[in-house]
Amino acid sequence: MNFFIVDDDEAIRSMLGDIIEDYDLGEVVGEAENGSNINDQLLKSKKVDIIIIDLLMPLKDGLQTIRDLGNCFAGKTIMLSQVEDKEMIGKAYSLGIEYYITKPINRLEVIAVIEKVIEHMQLEKSIQDIQKTLNVLQFNKEKDRQVHSFMSKDIVSSGQFLLTELGIIGESGSKDLLDIVQYLFECENEKPFELGFPSLKKIFIDVAMKKLGPLCDSMDLNKEMKASEQRIRRAIYQALNHLASLGLTDYSNPKFEEYAAIFFDFTEVRKKMLELQNGSNASISSVHINTKKFVRVLYIESKKRL
């Protein structure tokens, strides 16, 4: 893997370069003290696979640099940050940044994050190779339907894996969540979400109708929708409890690091951790649960694992 390091602190650049080379993680092919001279031509000429870039820098910071690159850079980005500003982290996620290394630099964290990024890149390449092979074999519509059926089952398996990681596979709401994941997958394959992710109300209506059948009356439909929503909220609350417990026991727990910040608002995770630490037993009504965010992230993460 070819790395490009962008940080205004020369000592940080040197430390990261030493770690990458000492542990045979790849080769550092370029460095910069800010993002002012970073462009797609430079990255392509150096065949950069992974950018490690600081969030805050003079002249041009990490967020603006990644925003200007847009879709031109096909590799992965690891953000360096010593701030926990909710708005800034939210902007980073919106730009597609999935990986963070916190400052001050910890050698073990750097190694773990980079190895995770490399693993994901290799997995994506394997999936692309498989998809190319499938495209060659798809001679007719019947073959397309068979492949779609296989992937539909596979999206559920991916969802089951994630729900297991979140500690809620045994919750009654997990079945509702898997039904939603399969429904979204089938919808997107028929017609991509060009106008954005479907509303939560539409998702609940369509999934309930699919379960009850097209001849169900409005009373039964509303009853099923409300019951499903309650089961899902309870399951999400248990996932929050599970991740908060992991973080409270070990803040560097891999599951806590990977899932807490993407499935939940981190302020809610912190709040739940403090409640657990103080031995308080708050009810589900006292917690802000963003069901749509959880469902959306579950679906996106399930697709990534196909």
Each residue of 179-236: pLDDT tens digit? 999 999 998 888 877 667 889 999 999 999 998 987 888 899 999 999 999 999 999 9
Better pLDDT: 76 or 306: 76
Which of 114-128, 145-159, 198-212 has the weakest average pLDDT?
Answer: 145-159
Residue 264 predicted with pLDDT over 80: yes
On the CB side of 220, how many CA atoms lie within 13 Å of its CA?
Answer: 10
Q: Tell me, what's the pLDDT at 12? A: 93
160 confidence band (pLDDT: 50, 70, 90): very high
- 78 and 151 in a single domain? The answer is no
Q: For residue 86, what pLDDT is reported?
A: 67
Highest-pLDDT range among 44-48, 62-66, 139-143, 271-275: 44-48
Q: How confident is the model at residue 141 (pLDDT cuts 50, 70, 90)?
A: low
Other C-beta atoms closer than 10 Å to the C-beta of 34 total 19
How many angstroms separate the Cα of 202 from the Cα of each of 197, 209, 303? 10, 11, 21
The verdict on 287 and 216 lying in the same domain is yes
More confident: 154 or 18: 18
Residue 34, phi-psi category: left (phi > 0), alpha (psi -120 to 50), beta (remainder): beta
Share the mean pLDDT of the chain: 86
**Whether residue 150 has pLDDT greater than 80:** no
Residue 85 belongs to a domain: yes
User: Could you tell me if residue 131 is inside a domain?
Assistant: no
Residue-wise pLDDT tens digits, 97-109? 878 888 888 999 9
pLDDT computed for residue 146 by the predictor: 45
What pLDDT, on a 0 to 100 scale, did the predictor assign at position 3?
95
Task: Average the pLDDT over 83-96 and give the result.
Answer: 72
Same domain, 185 and 240: yes
**pLDDT-based confidence at 85, cuts 50/70/90?**
low
Where is the domain boundary, 76, 91, 123?
123
Domain stop point among 96, 123, 150: 123
- Residue 31 DSSP SS3: strand
Q: 150 and 95: one domain?
A: no
What is the C-alpha to C-alpha distance for residues 227 and 224, in angstroms, rounded to an integer?
Answer: 5
In a domain, 134, yes or no: no
**In terms of residue numbers, what domain contains 26?**
2-123
**Residue 135, domain member (yes or no):** no
* Total number of domains constituting the chain: 2
Place of tokens 């879709």: 71
The model's pTM: 0.51
